[in-house]
Amino acid sequence: MLTAFMLLSCSANRVKKRNITDFKLKGRVTIDYSVKDVALDSTTNTVFVAEKESNKIWIYHDYEYINKIGGRGLGEAKFQSLSDLDVSNQGHLLVLDNLQKRISIIDKDGQFVGKLNLQNVKNPVRFAVDSNEMLYIYDNNEHEIVVNNLLTGNEFIRFGKFEIDFPKNMTVNADKLNITNYNNSNLLYGVMGNFVAEYSGMTVVDEFNTILKATSNTVAVNENSEIKIVSLNKIENVILYGRSLVLVTEKSIEIYEIRYDKGMKKDYE
């Protein structure tokens, strides 16, 4: 199975180069609470927002509020210390509880359907899941990434030991793991643990190695490009989900579609 995982990772490296043409605003969620993290299911236009301190998750469909789940406690759909969340390839919401050292699996209706205990991770504080249902978990005790299979719980590899500061957020796009630290430095790894690059500032890198950099209220392609997003509010976080860009601002969460040209046949990374 590890061999198959490596082959999938290697095959993803050879992609046709495509350039960003513009951004299209898909929707906006107005918030009046402090945001800890955001997860996006772009196939169903569902936004999951973890609220700071309360351990609650707000659910929005088509950018309208539909439900709120979680809260502090020991029950199946309760959390002692909600640390992070992401959406699996199967459309399940995955929620990391740092104190219980587990990932809860929740369906689109907010119902608890299962859990994965992280017995091999001492202090899990952040994670991301890729399209092959592989979990990339940051262990804050060992200061490294632990890669587990979501379906079996088996560990595959570890990497990045003492290279990563405390992550603000982590996402996997194509064959790259984007890690944003709280000091706004950004690290880029291949999914097999190979170090790719480091960037300063609030930065994410798409599947075609295009750099998207945010300042106080803008996100620009390759920093100096005329192709940019201008937000009315101060940008506090930028999260890349495939070809969707999530901006967390002081007053709202904005979701943009990243639009590309068709690329040239000879342009391969």
Answer whether residue 73 is part of any domain: yes
> What is the per-residue pLDDT for 5?
46
Phi-psi region of 53 (alpha: psi -120 to 50; beta: other; left: phi over 0): left
Q: Residue 116 is part of a domain; what is its CATH number?
A: 2.120.10.30
Answer whether residue 268 is part of any domain: no
Per cent of the chain over pLDDT 70 is: 92
> What is the band of 139 on the pLDDT scale with cuts at 50, 70, 90?
very high
Strand partners, 198: 187
- How many domains is the chain built from? 1
Q: Which of 173, 179, 210 is nearest to 195 (CA)?
A: 179
Answer whether residue 1 is part of any domain: no
Q: Which of 208, 192, 196 is nearest to 4 (CA)?
A: 192
Answer whether residue 173 is part of any domain: yes
> What is the per-residue pLDDT for 184?
77
Answer whether residue 6 is part of any domain: no
Digit-coded pLDDT (tens) for 220-258: 998 777 899 999 999 999 999 999 999 999 999 999 999
> What is the per-residue pLDDT for 152?
92
**Residue 133 has which token pair?**
């249902």
Residue type, 139: D
Who's near 31: CB < 8 A, 6+ residues apart? 49, 58, 251, 252, 253
Answer whether residue 162 is part of any domain: yes
Q: Residues 168, 181: contact at Cβ < 8 Å?
A: yes
SS3 8: helix
**Residue 263 has which token pair?**
């690329």
> What is the per-residue pLDDT for 245?
97
Instruction: Report the mean per-residue pLDDT for the chain.
Output: 90
Confidence check: pLDDT of 9 > 60? no
> What is the per-residue pLDDT for 263?
74
Confidence check: pLDDT of 28 > 70? yes
> What is the band of 14 on the pLDDT scale with cuts at 50, 70, 90?
low
Digit-coded pLDDT (tens) for 182-207: 887 899 999 999 999 999 888 999 99
Confidence check: pLDDT of 7 > 80? no
> What is the per-residue pLDDT for 220?
95
Answer whether residue 4 is part of any domain: no
> What is the per-residue pLDDT for 15?
58
Q: Which domain holds residue 153?
A: 15-260
Q: What is the pTM of this model?
A: 0.89
Answer whether residue 269 is part of any domain: no
